[in-house]
Structure 1
């Protein structure tokens, strides 16, 4: 069946492809337009497409494909580490401030981007399995440093729950926390807040 040969291209890329992946197989982009019109494919953003399976493609896959340099942070990271009871309605993603902001316009998934210093991008970068997909995320300590940096912009209840959860987490690493805090120039604040909670 003709549809199956197109679907196989998507299958090989976890359901999300770039236009270049499609044309490299010898097909014209007008075929994609037809697949969209026929309800097989959805356009995510310029140059990126997903196959509309019965089971939707994991949001983790979409984030990794569209923004491979992005790192899950803030409220989304708190949720991953079970440091918040509130499911974020928006994906919080850190990207380098050196990147063009126009690249991060997307209507398909609700996303909030944090444009941060390039040297901060590597601090505490880690990876977790989300919906069976490896997803880049800042580790526990980096996440706690970030919420302390942005404390004034955070919901007080979410902030307090996150700090309390971290303090009670057997996987916490206070040495790393203080090392990150020093690199991010917030050591005094982190020491003060952790001193109150511990």
Structure 2
């Protein structure tokens, strides 16, 4: 039978050497075991509720996802994470459901609040061995056309060009999203000459 320590290390092993306090709680392991493992230098605290083993690798995006688990990486950040932009975001953008308090996020991320369609286009990707929740590229491109979002067109234009040249593009899905958000005319302006 596995000891609690071994169980924690097993969870961490499956998670790139990272263990979250809530994973320990879900596994019904006393938190005291975590504290002992930190004291024994088996685990190292990274930030509140996040620990890493010696071999563990902590990705900044994963840390943000762990801190703000209700958020979905979006806009320029989603472009970067999916390889449609070479520019790493200085302040990553995450989208949250209406009603989420954003006061403690300021300075760490750029929160965007939506009242509906929060789940539309939500996917999970793996980046540097960590699982991240982001919007697919079609939703991302459409989100960047929304008038109330201050889009960086120096990133948007090359991204839409890369997208239209990509073998993975799904133009039907892109236009379906644009139609859903009432942005098909706007999208046509940018994509018309590229197809």
CA distance in 2, matches of 1:20, 1:82: 30
TM-score by length of 2: 0.75
Cross-structure match for 2:167: 170
Question: Is 1:44 paired with 2:47?
Answer: yes
The gaps in structure 2 that reach 5 residues or longer are none
Deviates more, 1:153-162 or 1:55-64: 55-64
Cross-structure match for 1:194: 191
Deviates more, 1:136-145 or 1:83-92: 83-92
Deviation at 1:34, TM superposition (A): 9.5
Decide which structure has greater helix share. 1
In 1, are the aligned partners of 2:139 and 2:174 still within 8 Å (CA)?
yes
CA distance in 1, matches of 2:58, 2:177: 34
Cross-structure match for 2:105: 105
In 2, are the aligned partners of 1:178 and 1:187 still within 8 Å (CA)?
yes
Root-mean-square deviation (CA, aligned residues, Å) is: 3.5
Figure out how many residues of one structure are paired with residues of the other and give that number: 188
How do 1:141-160 residues align onto structure 2 when only pairs under 5 Å count? Answer: 141-149=138-146, 153-160=150-157
Question: Is 1:9 paired with 2:13?
Answer: no
Residue 129 and residue 54 in structure 1: after superposition, are their counterparts in 2 closer, same or farther (change >3 A)?
closer
CA distance in 1, matches of 2:66, 2:6: 17
Cross-structure match for 2:68: 67
The gaps in structure 1 that reach 5 residues or longer are none
1:21 to 14, 21, 24: 24
TM-score by length of 1: 0.74
Cross-structure match for 1:115: 113
Residue 143 and residue 26 in structure 1: after superposition, are their counterparts in 2 closer, same or farther (change >3 A)?
closer
Deviation at 1:68, TM superposition (A): 3.2
CA distance in 2, matches of 1:10, 1:100: 33
